Chain A
């Protein structure tokens, strides 16, 4: 989410120009399947596991992960959506805009929350997410699943489940869609 937000925010304004396709739709599917198995293995099943996708890029991945988890274990995993905009640490420094409402209709106290996002970059979105989760209860543990870890962390945050580690330059951009993962640049429009 971080990339897209940064790129689409009004004063930056830009369009994503893809350069390389890093993962195709099948790669994406296999990665989700592997992550699902890792989640089940790591937590010895799915009891108390809740999947929460970060608005907006993490939301479709969270639903896909929950579907695969259901196929593997035969249990329905609660799925939530979290928008971290109001908890960011760069409000007032750069444009921040809520993308879509949060939807977490359950108490998180005592649960195991698997946060899902498309790209892990500086870690600031995840920090904001950890802050936001406090307002919904006190999870027993929080785990982080991302499709792409592109490095350049600015905070002591690491993912528990990774689709792909992708070395990038800071000024590059990673786009995750249903069709796969692309690496490219943002061309400024102003």
Chain B
């Protein structure tokens, strides 16, 4: 990768996305071995700074680092000095002083990873900042689609749900369209960003009309913690019009994929049994997430000749 950090999908050229996805094949193979570990990043330390709760992303990065033999340090705000009022900058500089090689950041405010990238020497990976971006999620989604369909070029992808509050949607719109897919956002007007100027997407409010033509249905999580209920008549109303119910899933073509970044609200954006259909990529997305993050960590820490050993 040309850039030192991975903050936004927009930082990556198409050839860089291709390179990450190509490398991911090698790390999928590592993950499938009897001993799923390589000595590649021995002696490197990856720190996860999670200022917002997360299960899969934090564990996924931690697993990725461990499979590469890196040491991991975990920071979660609830058990840290942030509770005593330490500022973000002091927290970050304290951790850097302990000697770290990469920082993985999740924060509820957009832009925090950029700020941290200005303060530390180590490469910074954005693991989700507010409503803004979640680049490794987009990369693992692209990898998962490629694995099933060979390529994203020409595919019709419907991104359904709370686009307004979704960093996953923002990163995925950039990645999917960059790789040649046609993206349609499907959501009630109140859950779309107020201004979509410059977004290379189509917009629809009719899920039933979109589903038969879609190659991929990408469902977003209804983010109840962001008070979306005030933007909707009710969650039940939402499910009735925009949820992927069992009946709606029958409208899909035979080889269409169903994806979700997790955590799922079963019964809200996706029916419980739809999530478990063979066409559902949801657990495969999680498995691929580890391999994609191994590729990203490897590219940032292992592939160049500028590491500590140089």
List the interface of chain A (C-beta within 8 A of B).
Answer: 11, 83, 85-87, 91-98, 100-103, 107, 131-132, 135-137
Asked whether, in the complex, the Cβ of B305 is within 8 Å of the Cβ of A101, the reply is no
What 3 pairs between A and B have smallest CB-CB spacing? A92-B307, A92-B309, A98-B26
B294 CB to nearest A CB, Å: 9
Q: A86-B40, A107-B34 are in contact. List 18 more A-B contacts (CB 8 A).
A: A83-B26, A85-B26, A86-B26, A86-B30, A86-B39, A87-B39, A91-B40, A91-B309, A92-B305, A93-B307, A93-B309, A94-B305, A98-B26, A102-B30, A103-B29, A131-B39, A136-B33, A136-B34
Beta-carbon contacts under 8 Å, B45-68 to A: 68
A92 with B310, Cβ < 8 A, contacts A86-B38, A135-B35 known: yes
Asked whether, in the complex, the Cβ of B302 is within 8 Å of the Cβ of A96, the reply is yes
Asked whether, in the complex, the Cβ of B310 is within 8 Å of the Cβ of A98, the reply is no
Instruction: Kindly state whether residue B195 has any CB partner on chain A within 8 Å.
Output: no
Which of B28, B37, B68, B309 interacts with A101 by CB under 8 Å? B28
Residues on A with C-beta less than 8 A from B190 are none
Asked whether, in the complex, the Cβ of B38 is within 8 Å of the Cβ of A87, the reply is yes
Question: Which applies to chain B's interface (DSSP): helix, strand, loop or mixed?
Answer: loop
Residues on B with C-beta less than 8 A from A98 are 23, 26
A82 CB to nearest B CB, Å: 10
Instruction: Kindly state whether residue B25 has any CB partner on chain A within 8 Å.
Output: yes
CB nearest to A107 among chain B residues: B34
Residues on B with C-beta less than 8 A from A93 are 305, 307, 309-310
Q: How large is the interface on B (under 10, 10 to 19, 20 to 34, 35 or more residues)?
A: 20 to 34
Instruction: Kindly state whether residue B94 has any CB partner on chain A within 8 Å.
Output: no
Residues on B with C-beta less than 8 A from A131 are 39
Q: How far is the CA of A60 from the CA of B308 in the complex (A)?
A: 36
A102 with B309, Cβ < 8 A, contacts A91-B302, A95-B304 known: no
A46 CB to nearest B CB, Å: 25
- Give 23 CB contacts A-B under 8 Å: A85-B26, A86-B26, A86-B30, A86-B40, A86-B68, A87-B39, A87-B40, A91-B40, A91-B307, A91-B309, A92-B302, A92-B304, A93-B305, A93-B309, A96-B303, A98-B23, A98-B26, A100-B26, A102-B26, A131-B39, A132-B38, A135-B34, A136-B34
Q: How far is the CA of A86 from the CA of B34 in the complex (A)?
A: 16
A95 with B29, Cβ < 8 A, contacts A86-B40, A135-B37, A137-B34 known: no
Residues on A with C-beta less than 8 A from B28 are 101
A174 CB to nearest B CB, Å: 23
Q: How far is the CA of A98 from the CA of B308 in the complex (A)?
A: 20
